Amino acid sequence: MDAQSAALIGAGLAAIGAGMAALGVGNVFGSFLESALRNPAAADGQQGRLFIGFAAAELLGLLSFLIAILLYLKAA
Amino acid sequence: MAAQSGNVDPMHQFTVEPLFGHDWAIAGHSIAFTNSAAWMAATLVALWLFMLGGMKRELVPGRWQMAVEGFTGFITNMMDTSIGPKGRRFVPYVFSLFMFILFANILGMLPTALFGLHPFTVTSHLTATGVLAILSFGIVLVVGFAKHKLHFFSLFIPHGTPWYMVPLIFFVELLSFLIRPFSLGLRLFVAMTAGHVLLEVLAGFVISGANSGSLALGPIVVIPSFALMVGISVLELLVAAIQAYVFALLTSLYLNDAINLH
């Protein structure tokens, strides 16, 4: 297999990480919503931490997107 | 990602071209006034007008003043929660950072292409977001070392680590600290770029579907793609605001690390 095809296949595989990031981000917001509905008064105070958790989960997913883009640009 | 004839190239919207000053250079590097610089200037003007319109001192504020005070109160609150009273001197910097990123992101989403002026997102380049991240990280380093001198390194060794773990923990914490500017800049850059590439790809579908001339397949491609474009544009506006907030929030958290050393 030549390097260009391998890079394109690698880019496709790396993009699977973006789907897993969706799971991670959904987990963060889902947990927040679930516990916020149990204790609405305490929910507003934790909003900052919600976005910190979202940023961390999203960053790791964006890293896999970055790898996919790097491989795609190397191949094409 | 070269464009084939008739196809929409999703990466073309990010090209930086000089507008004037093609032969201005400092030490061999071109400092021409580019379209990126023009949109940064537009962001500055928009932000300036927004703040100017709201910085009145009316006791019962009108709507514009309420909007500006809403933003300043939001950032001051966030910094008070993250840092505490010692963080007040950094509110101007974090506020400027937040408002610039917010306005730059939103200006990149404006529908001015209807009138022929395609918008350019300043923050869709790692160079721009990287400079903002290096600025934040630089301020963290300067403040940390000026305030604590060499005791700053105790940030990397949490209380209560057993002595045999200290070298490993120090190395891991140092690595996680040094990756901060990279992650700050990368997060904003990829979020903006990915959103705009997605919109452009969908727009390519709409154009191909409309140009296909087929009365059966054309609407099947055009209508869902256009509906997706509208939905994703709304999501991109939300992401623009969230990414600006996350950048400012993480900057204030890193400043808290430097000022208060946990």
User: What angle (nearest 5°) sits at the alpha carbon of residue B93, between those of residues B91 and B98?
Assistant: 90
Identify which of A65, A66, A76 has the shortest CB distance to residue B1: A76
Residue A72 to residue B1, Cβ atoms within 8 A: yes
Distance between CA atoms of residues B48 and B40, nearest Å: 12
Residue B5 has pLDDT above 50, yes or no: no
Q: Which residues pair with B26 in a beta bridge?
A: B29
**pLDDT greater at residue B188 or residue B9:** B188
Residue B204 has pLDDT above 80, yes or no: yes
Residue B261 has pLDDT above 70, yes or no: yes
Residues of chain B with pLDDT > 70: what percent? 97
Dihedral sign for Cα atoms in the order B96, A59, A10, B4: negative
| Contact list, A51 vs chain B (CB under 8 Å) | 242, 245-246, 249
Which pLDDT does position B242 carry in this prediction?
A: 93
Identify which of B1, B81, B187 has the shortest CB distance to residue A55: B187
| Helix extents (H) in B83-165 | 91-107, 126-148
Which pLDDT does position B6 carry in this prediction?
A: 57
Which pLDDT does position B2 carry in this prediction?
A: 44
The token pair at B173 is 């914490």
**Does A59 contact B at CB distance below 8 Å?**
yes
pLDDT digits (tens, 9 = 90+) for A39-52: 999 998 888 889 88
CA distance B49 to chain A (A): 29
Dihedral sign for Cα atoms in the order A49, A52, A56, A61: positive
Residue A51 to residue B190, Cβ atoms within 8 A: no
pLDDT bracket for residue B69 (50, 70, 90): very high
- Unique residue bearing structure tokens 């296909």: B212
Q: What three-state secondary structure class fits A27?
A: helix
- Determine the average pLDDT of the residues in B61-72: 92
The token pair at B104 is 């730059």
Residue B94 has pLDDT above 70, yes or no: yes
Residue B249 to residue A48, Cβ atoms within 8 A: yes
Residue of A nearest to B187 (CA): A59
- Unique residue bearing structure tokens 């939300």: B238
B26: enclosing H helix or E strand? strand B25-26
Residue B1 has pLDDT above 50, yes or no: no
pLDDT digits (tens, 9 = 90+) for B32-57: 899 999 999 999 999 999 999 988 88
CA distance B215 to chain A (A): 33
Domain ranges of chain A: 3-75
**pLDDT greater at residue B94 or residue B2:** B94
| Contact list, A73 vs chain B (CB under 8 Å) | 1
CA distance A50 to chain B (A): 10
The arrangement of secondary structure in A3-75, i.e. its CATH architecture, is Up-down Bundle (1.20)
Mean pLDDT by 10 residues, chain A (76 residues): 90 89 94 94 89 88 86 82
Which pLDDT does position B211 carry in this prediction?
A: 86
The size of the A-B interface in CB pairs under 8 A is 37
Q: What three-state secondary structure class fits B20?
A: strand
Residue of B nearest to A51 (CA): B246
- Unique residue bearing structure tokens 């149990």: A38
**Does A62 contact B at CB distance below 8 Å?**
yes
Residue B4 has pLDDT above 50, yes or no: no
pLDDT digits (tens, 9 = 90+) for B107-166: 999 999 889 889 999 999 999 999 999 999 999 999 999 998 888 888 888 888 888 888
- Determine the average pLDDT of the residues in B186-209: 91
pLDDT bracket for residue B239 (50, 70, 90): very high
| Contact list, B253 vs chain A (CB under 8 Å) | 52
**Does A76 contact B at CB distance below 8 Å?**
yes
The pLDDT mean for chain B works out to 90
CA distance A74 to chain B (A): 10
